């Protein structure tokens, strides 16, 4: 019998518009009070360099749904020295919106003509190498705008503040409406989600 590989994906949530940067420390305390975030597993403060890891809180399943897979949550003896298979992270705010993609990311569609940007990966490499703004150009209609204005589906996205569920199978974890309602109430922003495979 072959061993089962551990999940290698992430569910990410980010506020909209893309430059929104709610206070992460305030958000952390509020999400812990709601029971989404559990015990803090890492010692860092919420900033733009390192995410903070948390166990899943007691109300985790009121906000996140798993479909088709068996989630491995830590037992109550999880300590800060160990990061469980399924956990949450909170990161940001970063100075500029960060781009998140994975093996499951598909070419984004132009918001004007609907054609896919087949060379999107090369265009992103150019952003990173030249420290330019994250602009994408549509070969079909010559639309040239930041990548966050393109249609990525739920397979990639941008954000300055990221709330993530780690070590999951992409597509088998969904945020529930209650989570979006709470995030809007707590931050004043709408949030969107996307899943990436590492």
Q: Measure CA 64 to chain center.
A: 13
- Do 48 and 119 belong to one domain? no
> What are 51-97's pLDDT values in tens digits?
899 999 999 999 999 887 656 565 555 454 555 688 999 999 999 89
- Do 158 and 145 belong to one domain? no
Q: Tell me whether residue 3 is in a domain.
A: no
- Do 29 and 117 belong to one domain? no
- In sequence order, which ranges of the chain are alpha helices (DSSP H)? 24-34, 60-63, 120-130, 177-187
Q: Tell me whether residue 1 is in a domain.
A: no
Q: Tell me whether residue 29 is in a domain.
A: yes
Phi, psi for residue 122 in degrees, rounded to 5: -65, -40
- Kindly tell me if the per-residue pLDDT of 1 is higher than 50: no
Distance CA 190, CA 11 (A): 17
Q: Tell me whether residue 50 is in a domain.
A: yes
- Do 40 and 89 belong to one domain? yes
Task: Kindly report the pTM of this predicted structure.
Answer: 0.87
Question: Beta-carbon neighbour count of residue 81 at 10 Å?
Answer: 6
- What pLDDT does 125 receive? 87
> What are 140-187's pLDDT values in tens digits?
999 999 999 999 999 999 999 999 999 888 778 899 999 999 999 999
- Kindly tell me if the per-residue pLDDT of 14 is higher than 90: yes
Cα dihedral 164/45/182/83 (nearest 10): 40
- Do 14 and 91 belong to one domain? yes
Helix (DSSP H) and strand (DSSP E) numbers for the chain: 4, 12
Q: Tell me whether residue 69 is in a domain.
A: yes
Q: Tell me whether residue 49 is in a domain.
A: yes
Task: Give the range of the structural domain holding residue 129, as residue numbers without chain letter.
Answer: 107-149
With 0-12 / 13-18 / 19 or more C-beta atoms within 10 angstroms meaning exposed / middle / buried, residue 82 is: exposed
- Do 88 and 159 belong to one domain? yes
Q: What percent of the chain has pLDDT over 90?
A: 67
- Do 85 and 168 belong to one domain? yes
Cβ atoms of residues 80 and 43 within 8 Å: yes
Distance CA 184, CA 188 (A): 5
- Do 18 and 54 belong to one domain? yes
- What pLDDT does 5 receive? 52
- Do 174 and 123 belong to one domain? no
């Amino acid at each position: 019998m072959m061993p089962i590989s551990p999940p290698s994906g992430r569910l990410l949530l980010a506020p909209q518009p893309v430059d929104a940067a709610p206070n992460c420390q305030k958000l952390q305390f509020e999400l812990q009070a709601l029971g989404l975030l559990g015990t803090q597993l890492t010692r860092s403060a919420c900033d733009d360099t390192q995410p903070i890891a948390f166990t899943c809180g007691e109300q985790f399943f009121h906000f996140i749904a798993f479909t088709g897979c068996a989630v491995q949550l830590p037992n109550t003896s999880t300590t800060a020295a160990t990061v469980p298979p399924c956990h949450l992270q909170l990161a940001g705010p970063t100075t500029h919106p960060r781009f998140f993609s994975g093996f499951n990311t598909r070419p984004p569609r132009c918001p004007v003509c609907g054609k896919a940007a087949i060379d999107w990966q090369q265009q992103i490499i150019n952003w990173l190498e030249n420290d330019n703004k994250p602009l994408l150009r549509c070969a079909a209609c010559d639309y040239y705008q930041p990548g966050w204005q393109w249609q990525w589906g739920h397979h990639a996205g941008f954000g300055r503040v990221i709330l993530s569920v780690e070590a999951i199978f992409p597509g088998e974890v969904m945020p529930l409406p209650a989570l979006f309602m709470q995030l809007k109430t707590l931050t004043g922003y709408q949030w969107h989600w996307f899943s990436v495979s590492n």
